[in-house]
Structure 1
Amino acid sequence: MKRFEWSLRLKGFPIKEAKKTLRLIESYDEKAYANFLSRQLRSIVQFHLENTPFYQELCNGINSNNWNELPVLTKANLQQPLKDRLSNKYTEKTVHQHKTSGSSGTPFSFAKDNFAHAMTWATFMQRYAWYDIDLNTSKQARFYGIPLDKKGYYKERLKDWLGNRFRFSVFDLSDAALETVLKKFKHTKFDYINGYTSSIVQFAKFLERKNIILKEVCPTLNVCIVTSEMLFEADKQLLERQFNIPIVNEYGAAELGLIAFQNKDKQWLVNSNHLYVEILDENNQPLPYGDTGKVVITDLFNRAHPFIRYKLGDIGRLSKASTLQQPILEQLTGRTSDIIKLPSGKTSAGLTFYYVTKTVMDTKANVKEFVIEQTKLDSFLISYVAKNSLTNEQKQAVQNAVDKYLEPNLKLVFEQKEVLQRQNSGKLKQFISSL
């Protein structure tokens, strides 16, 4: 029984039609795909110009025939009631509604028409099949957040049942909680792991401390898919070592679905089935393959709500080996909001701090997790979870690394905690700027 596909159809999402459309797109050669993409871009823009007052207002006075003149949609534009952003061909009762996690600091509600939502799931099915995962039959070990209110909790549990998955809450990552997770793996034939990077990394560290290889405990496991948070090379190596299965990097967003997925050749292939991804400079002009800039995405099918030239808030680069039909995401370097501003006027990516502190603290101290907050232009609070407090020598080592990689005379305050505060979704944002 195709339980998952049945649940989608029951809710009105035409998954059969979406899979048929997907097969057609996949059959195109390069020229046919270019024609398809051009038609879809013109069609989705024209539809929202004719039917969506919200988008009409954004494009007022703009030459809509020139793609590069179209406005870049920001999350600030979406900070208004959903009903004021919907196409007039839809109502709040005839669309799929959802909320973003707010990991960018700007949560909002959004909508997809039923076909667009079905296309999202058809693409997930296609990509997961690369690793012999069938969403109808493969058992998933899911490391995600879960609503704590009774209605939301049981709604997610029902969705998990329909999706053939078991959810481990990421709000408690203590050794006692992870011991329970391990027991579940011992007695359940999981086919794959999926979830937030930081939580899965914590489980791998727990296994490392216990000298346990997960594949030996759960022989049916075939692959681990990490999503929603950055996967660093050292963490990937840890996961490969402790799980002894392939580790696959997934890049997605609730409002867009699957953006990029790693194939077996280790290429991060962009989802060109129903998304068009651009890399733009500071003036919102397209950059050539190989250049780093703002990730801007257009949903080719969503007629309920415009996501046209939508700035996701991430910084990335497409490989020079990319083509229109097969873009390759070469690097994702974090969010535009994750920028360190320094007294000298210099700026740096927030993940610089991750590398600095992780290198020092992981090699010299038993630090499980940490979060860094920039409180002033020259001041940073480093909150960390560890069995023992950092020594003065270890703190000085972090200070020395910061002097080297950022600039001298920055003030660091260290604060040891029992547990770090996660977002409501369960994600762990590792750099926060309060400036």
Structure 2
Amino acid sequence: MEQSQWWTRDQLRDLQLSRLKQLLTHAQQHVPYYRDLFAQLGLQAEQVSSLQDLSRFPFLIKAEIRAHTEALKSEKARHLARFNTGGSSGEPLIFFIGKERVSHDVAAKWRATRWWDVDIGDREIVVWGSPIELGTQDSVRGLRDKVFRTKLLPAFEMSEQKLDDFLAQIRQLRPKMLFGYPSALSHFARHAAKRGLVMNDLGIQVAFVTSERLYDEQREQIASTFGCAVANGYGGRDAGFIAHQCPHGSMHITAEDIIVEIVDTHGLPVPVGESGEIVVTHLATSEFPFIRYRTGDIGVLSDAACSCGRGLPVLQEIQGRSTDFLVAHNGTVMHGLALIYILRDLPQVRAFKIIQESLDLTRVLVVLEEPLSAELSSQIILGFRARLGAAVEIQVEQVNEIPAEKSGKFRYVISKVAAY
């Protein structure tokens, strides 16, 4: 990967096509789910002569994985590890990963960290995980932390006392990099500012953020407090390490392992520069194939070359999950930022969460410095109705805190109305 990142796009596409043929052939011969599906649809791996031919193959959706988990395992698979998504958008997804996939994802991660002059063995603080995830790692965490000089802090524990302790650990370890959810790292940063703690003299080189949308104010808060660059990453346990930001600002796709398609609501490809759902084929997943996997995320591809000189293709924009979008009463689709900015402009609001239950009802949870007044409630309702529609019921509820999802992530917007 250190060599191939400098290849031309034609060279990378040739590599993708070669590996795609291998993956499809293996799936057709050794994966019961795909063997039956390809036969039913009259598809043959040997018919693929270009990357465009991939669009002839069916999408893989979460419901199919849940319904056919065992049949998606390759008959040649050995030592598969069970994984699951955090379930922040609903029911967790259970799937399996082989050693080839793990090694490729780890290599992609470390190549990207080297772009920022950080390498294996440099001290790292990781802010991550749910209680379940962290508990399962207890037996190996000590050894792993010692070998990789990594300290894992649980993102779901955010009490004042815990935050004080976490910041003390960061000061003691003096890591070269931070890694975690942007909401968690920005929360750390805000708490440090509140306590008047100086955290920008520790030699932190970069904060890698992933798994959530990175907002501008989060980037600014993290960079200012910790005195470091902020590098965005995009991927997941299911789809793999898809893209990472280089120091020149581009989100480079891990093209050696990942084929990214952008499709519209009908599953048809959209032109470069237009937004649609991100569909991923992970070329290192022969033991449990992810072929044309619909991520539920919305993004935009770019055909521009990055000034860093790498041939790796670029994701121009990652707009969020389809459930981060809202649907107005008249059917207009808008990003959650349309409502987020209403609340962020209100100094009384410390934290919030927007839940669109239906086209007719949206709930707004707010954490306030003082009791919710009729005036503030009316101001929120009017602002939301101006965007969602005058007939929409807006329920404003004051709460003591906004809990993170079970995964440890935080989501500002959840829509139960299909936007894509």
TM-score norm. by structure 1 comes to 0.86
- Structure 2 counterpart of 1:208, from 193, 197, 202: 193
Q: Which amino acid aligns with 2:222?
A: L
Q: CA deviation at 1:388?
A: 2.5
How many Å separate the matches in 1 of 2:375 and 2:140?
A: 46
Match of 2:237 among 248, 254, 259: 254
CA RMSD in angstroms comes to 2.4
1:35: which partner in 2?
14
In 1, the alpha carbon distance for the partners of 2:243 and 2:408 equals 22
How far apart in 1 are the matches of 2:9 and 2:319? 29
Give the Cα separation in 2 of the matches to 1:40 and 1:331: 26
CA distance in structure 2 between the partners assigned to 1:322 and 1:380 by the alignment: 42
In the alignment, is the contact (CA less than 8 A) between 1:191 and 1:221 conserved in 2?
yes
CA distance in 2, matches of 1:108, 1:314: 15
Change (3 A) 1:347 1:242: same
Query: Does the CA-based 8 Å contact 1:365-1:390 persist in structure 2?
Result: no
* CA positional deviation for 1:316: 0.4
Structure 1: runs of 5 or more not aligned: 1-21
Note the C-alpha offset of 1:308.
0.9
CA distance in structure 1 between the partners assigned to 2:134 and 2:223 by the alignment: 36
The equivalent residue for 1:52 is: 31
In structure 2, the CA distance between the partners of 1:198 and 1:30, relative to structure 1 (3 Å rule), is closer
- Alpha-carbon separation, structure 2, partners of 1:178 and 1:48: 47
Q: Cα deviations across residues 200-246 of structure 1 (Å, max 9, x unaligned)? A: 12112212323434213xx2211111111111112212222222210
2:126–2:150 Cα contact (<8 Å) kept? yes
**Residue 264 of structure 1 pairs with residue 270 of structure 2:** no
Give the distance between the partners of 2:133 and 2:240, measured in 1 at CA.
Answer: 25
Cα displacement string for residues 74-121 of structure 1 (whole angstroms, at most 9, x for unaligned residues): 111111363221011114xx2233211123324222223212211111
Q: Give me the whole-angstrom Cα distance separating, in 2, the residues matched to 1:317 and 1:27.
A: 23
Q: How does 1:59-208 map to 2 (within 5 A)?
A: 59=38, 60-64=40-44, 65=47, 66-80=53-67, 82-91=69-78, 94-135=79-120, 137-148=121-132, 152=136, 154-155=138-139, 157-158=141-142, 159-208=144-193
Cα distance in 2 for residues equivalent to 1:149 and 1:385: 28
Q: Structure 2: which 5+ residue stretches go unaligned?
A: 48-52
TM-score with structure 2 length normalisation? 0.89
Bigger drift between 202-211 and 186-195 goes to 202-211
1:432 corresponds to: 414
Aligned counterparts of 1:328 and 1:239: Cα–Cα separation in 2? 24
Query: In the alignment, what sits opposite 2:217?
Result: 234
Contact kept in structure 2, 1:348 and 1:406, CA below 8 Å: no
Relative to structure 1, is the Cα distance of residues 339 and 56 closer, same or farther in structure 2, using a 3 angstrom cutoff?
farther
> CA–CA distance in 2 between the matches of 1:224 and 1:430?
21
Identity of aligned residues (%): 24
Relative to structure 1, is the Cα distance of residues 321 and 228 closer, same or farther in structure 2, using a 3 angstrom cutoff?
same
Q: 1:23: how far off?
A: 4.2
Q: What amino acid does structure 1 have at the position aligned with 2:32?
A: P
SS at match of 1:354: helix
Output the CA distance in 1 between the equivalents of 2:300 and 2:104.
25
CA contact (8 A) 1:287 1:293 kept: yes
- Mapped partners of 1:129, 1:262: distance in 2: 12
Partner of 1:337: 323
Q: Aligned AA for 2:76? A: K
**Cα offset, 1:390, TM superposition:** 3.9
- Given that residues 6 and 311 in structure 2 are in contact (C-alpha distance below 8 angstroms), is that contact kept between their aligned partners in structure 1? no
For residues 133 and 210 of structure 2, what CA distance do their matches in structure 1 show? Answer: 25
2: CA distance between counterparts of 1:274 and 1:150? 28
Name the CA distance, whole Å, in 1 between partners of 2:271 and 2:42: 24
Q: Is contact 2:204-2:227 (8 Å) kept?
A: no
1:377 aligns with 2:364: no
| Contact persistence 1:101–1:425 (CA under 8 A) | yes
The number of equivalent residue pairs is 405
